[in-house]
Amino acid sequence: MLSVLNFIEEKISSDEKVAWAQRHINNGFTAIEKLLEGSAGKYASGDKVQLADVFLAPQIYIGVTRFQIDMSQYPTLARIYEAYAELPAFQAAHPNRQPDAFPSSSQSC
């Protein structure tokens, strides 16, 4: 996806790059929200963290922080994402806590 975003920015504009990413992220989040509605537990696939959660957390983080995705459209995903923020393992793995993180980044999950 990064190479596509770079191409769009280079050939068209930064605004179109963000719009393109938002459109595709929203399409994906809409599909995942429908999939998880009524079947998710505390986390994506139950009340224990599973591999789906490990992949989902960074996708939501990027959607929210980099592409300003409005999570109010996705109540199940938003609730699950908040649950990740309570877990020490997810807190420790947060991008802002990594040695190469930018100093001005937020600490929320």
Which pLDDT score, from 0 to 100, does residue 106 have? 47
- For residue 32, give Cα distances in angstroms to 17, 77, 104: 23, 8, 31
Distance CA 55, CA 102 (A): 22
- Assign 43 to helix, strand or coil: strand
**Could you give phi then psi for residue 42, rounded to 5 degrees?**
-60, -30
Q: Residue 33 gets which letter from DSSP?
A: H
The CATH code of domain 2-97 reads 1.20.1050.10
105, two tokens: 């980044």
- With beta carbons less than 8 A apart as the criterion, state whether 109 and 85 touch: yes
Distance CA 25, CA 29 (A): 6
Which pLDDT score, from 0 to 100, does residue 42 have? 96
Per DSSP, the residues of 10-30 read HHT-HHHHHHHHHHHHHHHHH
Which pLDDT score, from 0 to 100, does residue 103 have? 66
The per-residue pLDDT string of the chain (109 residues; one tens digit each, 9 = 90 and over) reads 667 666 777 767 777 888 888 999 999 999 999 999 988 999 999 999 999 999 999 999 999 998 999 999 999 999 999 999 999 999 999 888 888 877 654 444 5
Each domain of the chain, given as residue ranges in start order, spans 2-97
